[in-house]
Structure formats: C-alpha cells, structure tokens
Structure 1
C-alpha cells in the first residue's frame, strides 16, 4: 500500500515525456547514418544509386511495419510493442557499428525501418494517452525534431570523436537503454481490446468525407516528403559538391537546417488557420527550392542554406497543415485507414524519387540531377496551390 502511490507518481511523470523522447530517439537514429554515407562510400566505393537504395529500403520496411503492426499496441499493450521495437533498433545499431560492407548496411536499414514503423504507432498512441490536448502537436514535432537532432548530432560525433563508424550508434544504444528502463517503469495505458490478429491486416483507404481534401493536398505532400528524402540521402553529397568542403559537419548541418526549421514551423504555425498554412507551405517550398537550385548552379554555400531554411518552413508547414486539414474529416471509425493512406503516399514519396535521383546522378551527375529534381518539386508545389486558390 505504501509503494503503490510512489509507483503511480513515477509512471505519471514518465508517461508525459518518455514517449516523445523515445520517438525523437527513433527518428534521430533513422537520420544518424545520413552524414556517414560519404564515409561508407569512401570505404566501400559504391555509387549514388546504391546509396539511395540503402536509404530507400528503410522507408519501405518502415511503411510495411506501420501498416501491419502500427495499431497492435491497442491490443497487446504499448509497453510490449515499444520494448520490442527498441530491441530491434538496438540490434540495427549493432549491425551498423560492425558493418563491413554494403550488404550489412542494407540489413541494418531494413531492421531499423521495421523497428521505427512498429514504434511509431505505439509511441504516438502513448503520447495521446498521456497528453491528449497537446498530443497531436507533439506527434508532429517529435519526429521532425528527431531527424534534425540525428543529422547534426551524428555529424558532430563523426567529425570530432574517434571511431566514426561506431560512436554514434553506441551513443544511441545508451539512449535506447535508458528509455527501455523508463518504458518498463511507466503504467500501461493501452485499452487492450481484443482482435490483435485482425489488427495485423493492413487497412488503407480514404473515407468519402476526406477524399476531396486528400486529393487537394496530395501534390504538396509528395513535394514535401520527396524533398526530405533527397536531403536525407543525397544532401551531404550535395553540400560537398557545392562547397568543395569535405566537412561531414556541414552535411549534418544541412539536414538539421531543413528538419529543425520544419519542426519550428510546426510549432509556430499551430494556431494559424490551416488553409493559410497550406498556401504558405506551397509557396515556401517553391521559393526555397528555387533558391537552392540557384545555389547549386552558382556554387554558393550561403544560398544553399538560405534556400534550405525557406524550404524547411514549407516542409514543416505542409506536414502540419495536411494533418490538420485532412485527418479531422474522417469519422473516428475510419480514421485509422485514412492515416495509413497518408503514410503510404508520404513514405513512397520519401523514398522512390530519392532512389531514382541516385540512379540518375550516377549517369548525369549530382548537380544536374539536383537541378532537375528541384524543378520537378517546384512544379508540384505550384500546382498544389491551384486547389487552394480556387477556394478563395
């Protein structure tokens, strides 16, 4: 009787912060390899096309896991799903740290994708359980902030500490170990409803009430996620070509700029009317990418980061605006399959264009590829403005 109240206080305090911190760590781990891709290329001499394949298998495996086990925590509990996902990501970190070739990098990214996909649904639900009024905004900020922290933190560790191919992964294992202990301590918040086996069947669809808005936002969603996919795969290589510098930190800083500004935009625009957020996002993406193309063609590092800041505003604003616009339109009983449809579109846009860009860059060069890629995204962003302008 004397122990129970203390246990509840510990669980209550952890339950508010722990899922958000754990989600941030999962996404930081997912962007941690980005600054290292150049190191791996130097050691194992693989092409830009293979680099983007290594990047792309992560997104495919994440999507498959999200579609199959994304809602499993509603049935078996948040803690078991999160703990298994942590164990899988720790295994991926160990494979990364001992990898001696491209094959093991692909294996590590596949395991990491499965772990992150499994964790995302459980952690997002746990955040909503603990902080329902602010849960949606936390669920929007934590993943994007994680990408920023992982990109810059990994680059700094690689640049300044010994064992560049191991240190960042060992640091992440320590974070995961602490979060696993915290997960064990918190109280279970899942409703534990029956139907775990049925939950493994993917449910993807767009309810009738949300179809018009989903279609109107699809091009902007594709543009934003395709941009982030390019930055997280080929961004550091682009920095090296534009700046002429071999600094790994600069590549991580570019990823941090895009994702960090995106996270800030999500927070700062949270009270702005969703339609205005969407229009502003499309405009910021188009302008930011245009400035970035100018940087690529002129070899200006300053313009490259200025363009990335502007594009980062569009990236964060589009994510926030789309989720605020589309998700509430679905009835509660159909919202799960709508969210699944959103992530199918988003993660396919995240990986397929980036992989294609890597393959094309092998033939025509990275600068030409980046220019063409940027023009394509500008066209998508400008076209995305049309449905919103027609509503005015």
Structure 2
C-alpha cells in the first residue's frame, strides 16, 4: 500500500538554495523496514487455519483475529503519524520496532485466542507508526541522483512485503520445525538487525525538535470530493480483496486443491500482492486516470473469473484469476490514490490521505468479519463466491463512475 506520508514534505532543515545536499545514510534501512513490517503482518495468514484447529474457533473468530489489526493501525497513523516530524525519525522508528518485537514475542508464546488478538492489535499499532515515519524518512534520505525513488518504493514495498511474509510463512509451515514459532523468530532477528542499523548508522534528518502535539486531521477538500466519491468503490473493492486473501484465502485454496499443504494458500497471497507491487512499479509513468480505469476493468475480470473458478472447483483457474486480480488491484489502487491526492493543495494532502486510509482500513476490516460470519453458517466456498462477485461488482461500478469523472477532475498529466 502506498505510504501515508508519501506526499507530505519532510520536516527537515534544508540548505540554502543552490547548495547541493549530500546523500545521507539510512535510505535502504528504512526501505527494508517498510518491507519487513508488512511481512510480519501477513506472516500469520498461512497459520490461521492451524490456530483455528488448535484452539477450536470458527471462521468468524478467525476473521476477528485478522481484522483487529486495522483499528490500532489507524489510531497510530492518524494520532501519532506526525510525531516523527517533531521529535525525530529515529526515536519513533525504534519505538515502532520495539512494539513489533513485543507483538512477535506474543505470537511466539501464544497459548490461546486472547494472546493472538493482543498480538495482532499490537502489530497493527506498530505498523501504523512505522508506516508514517518510514515513508517520511525515505523522502528525507532519498538519493539526490534518483528523484522520485522514495515515492516509487513506498508505493510498492508495502504490498510486496505482504506477499513475501505469506510466502515465507507458508514455506516454513510446510517444511520447517515448529513453524508457529520459527516464522516469528526469523522476523524478530531481522527486526533486531534493522533496529541496530537504525540506531547506530542511519542519519537523523529532523534537526529542529519541538514538543509533539496530538492532532487528528481527516477531511476531503471540496475540490477533491467528486473524484473521491467516484473512486470510493475502487478503494473499497481493492482493500476488501486483499483482506479476503489474507484472512480466509489460504483456507479457501486448501479447500479447492484438496491438499493439506500450506504452500498453495501462501502462493495465492504472494501472487496477488507480488503482481500488484510489480505492476505499480512498471506503470509508474501512467496517468492516474488511465491506471484507475484500466485497473478497475482488469479487477472486474479477475474477480469474475474467481467466481467461476470456485464454482467449478478448479484451483488452476483460481490461480489464474488471482494473477489477473493482482494486476487489476495494483493498477486500480495506485491510480485511485494518485488521482485523489493530486486534487488537494499541499497543506490539505495529509488530511485527505488520512481520509483515504480511514475508508481503506474500514473496507479492510468489516468485509472480512462479515465474510467470517457468513462462512461459519453457509460454508467457505459459497461465501467466497459471493465475496468475489461483490468485489467484481464494486470494481465495475468504479469503472463506470471514474470513466468520466476522473477525466474531468484530474489535472492533465497527473501522475
């Protein structure tokens, strides 16, 4: 997912005009952190079915465990997202790393549902805090010879990290000893190395520190409202899609493939998010309107094909539909995000991005819980067919609503 602070100016003291800015250290450390935190967020996905079997909870409970991540993440983003502008990038990064370490430790020692929920909630808060500060740090530390690299990576690394985390977890669950512990131990080790690198090597870019203030700014400026409303079905469909794949998706693939292996489910997540990340990079120069309209069309086709794949119980067709939906997801979300942000003045972008993420994470959490409730009573395959049909319908509505609105509202040449 594109970073919360991708369009905000870093709170650094700039040199006088005409004086070259030397490259600072730490850019790739923060890029690695922006990948690792989503990896940790998706790592439990291949394990949810095992947790449910071990502690005897239903699909409803499983999706609650998954979705509890969203509310703390939003609180961290909206309430504390600007703290690094005031007290420094490194202190906030180290706090986020400490919170994620505590979360991973909870996963390792979990002995029941309460521990899982606590681990996910803490993980969500840590990820929200890190997303804001790492995105800003990438802008601060961006190499002078590569303008635009920070925004490009910020838009791709988070989504790619989700796929890597699920794939790592799925591989370890299938082939390694004690995967419910080893997965988190590996992530904990990588986190420790990156925290040390942040503390001892990365440069601090905030030189003028002030007392932090808590303020929540969430609004949609008048000039952005038409495109925001037109893009709302697109945003809901993309966030709901990734939500289903990360929560019930692995269990669905296991059902379709009649396999006890955890790898098929992990591969489906990796295909969806990996292709979304790659297509975001490959189409970085496309106009936002083109990306959004093309993405909605592809997402409609991919989700429609998913309905057919589940209906005829064909795992090969499901993988194909996942790949198509992943391409559509990457195009649609990046196009919608850039279309919305381009219409706000710089001073209004933070509040507008916050509104976009409130909508996104609401669509991330609520549909997952609803699908869990329905699945408990009606069965997973029937639920997945209805869910995929709803995503396809929303993407089609978004395609129709943005075809004209985006072209009128988005400034020419917006990227």
Query: What TM-score results when the alignment is normalised by the length of structure 1?
Result: 0.94
CA displacement, residues 361-382 of structure 1 (integer Å, 9 cap, x when unaligned): 0000111111111111111111
Aligned position for 1:385: 399
Distance 2:215 2:130 in 1: 17
Distance 1:179 1:191 in 2: 22
Gap regions ≥5 residues in structure 2: 1-21, 408-415
Q: 2:321 aligns with which of 307, 312, 315?
A: 307
Alpha-carbon distance change, 389 to 319 in structure 1, aligned in 2, over 3 angstroms? closer
State whether structure 2 residue 62 is matched by structure 1 residue 51. Answer: yes
State whether structure 2 residue 167 is matched by structure 1 residue 167. Answer: no
Deviation at 1:192, TM superposition (A): 4.0
Distance 1:55 1:362 in 2: 15
Q: 1:111 aligns with which of 122, 134, 137?
A: 122
Q: 1:279 aligns with which of 274, 293, 296?
A: 293
Deviation at 1:323, TM superposition (A): 2.1
Alpha-carbon distance change, 322 to 390 in structure 1, aligned in 2, over 3 angstroms? closer
Aligned position for 1:190: 206
Deviation at 1:284, TM superposition (A): 1.0
Alpha-carbon distance change, 220 to 98 in structure 1, aligned in 2, over 3 angstroms? same
Q: Secondary structure at the match of 2:205?
A: coil
Residues 196-345 of structure 1 mapped to structure 2, 5 A cutoff? 196-197=212-213, 200-345=214-359
State whether structure 2 residue 109 is matched by structure 1 residue 94. Answer: no
Deviation at 1:193, TM superposition (A): 5.2
State whether structure 2 residue 169 is matched by structure 1 residue 154. Answer: yes
Conserved in 1, the CA contact under 8 Å of 2:341 and 2:353? yes
Conserved in 2, the CA contact under 8 Å of 1:74 and 1:191? no
Conserved in 2, the CA contact under 8 Å of 1:12 and 1:186? no
Aligned position for 1:22: 33
CA displacement, residues 121-158 of structure 1 (integer Å, 9 cap, x when unaligned): 00000011112522111111010010010010111111
Deviation at 1:195, TM superposition (A): 5.2
Distance 2:170 2:205 in 1: 36
Q: 2:159 aligns with which of 144, 150, 157?
A: 144
Conserved in 2, the CA contact under 8 Å of 1:14 and 1:182? no
Deviation at 1:209, TM superposition (A): 2.1
More helix by share: 1
Aligned position for 1:178: 193
Distance 2:254 2:285 in 1: 38
Distance 2:30 2:190 in 1: 13
Question: Larger deviation: 15-24 or 102-111?
Answer: 15-24
Question: Larger deviation: 188-197 or 122-131?
Answer: 188-197
Query: What TM-score results when the alignment is normalised by the length of structure 2?
Result: 0.89
Runs of 4+ residues over 6 Å off in structure 1: none
Conserved in 2, the CA contact under 8 Å of 1:38 and 1:237? yes
Distance 1:318 1:20 in 2: 23
Conserved in 2, the CA contact under 8 Å of 1:75 and 1:191? no
Aligned position for 2:43: 32
Question: Larger deviation: 314-323 or 29-38?
Answer: 314-323
Deviation at 1:190, TM superposition (A): 2.4
Aligned position for 2:410: none
Deviation at 1:337, TM superposition (A): 0.5
Aligned position for 1:6: none
Q: Secondary structure at the match of 1:201?
A: coil
Distance 2:72 2:317 in 1: 35
Distance 1:15 1:208 in 2: 38
Deviation at 1:328, TM superposition (A): 2.2
Distance 1:192 1:219 in 2: 41
CA displacement, residues 96-138 of structure 1 (integer Å, 9 cap, x when unaligned): 0110101100000011011001111000000111125221111
Conserved in 2, the CA contact under 8 Å of 1:51 and 1:233? yes
Q: Secondary structure at the match of 1:196?
A: coil
Aligned pair count reads: 380
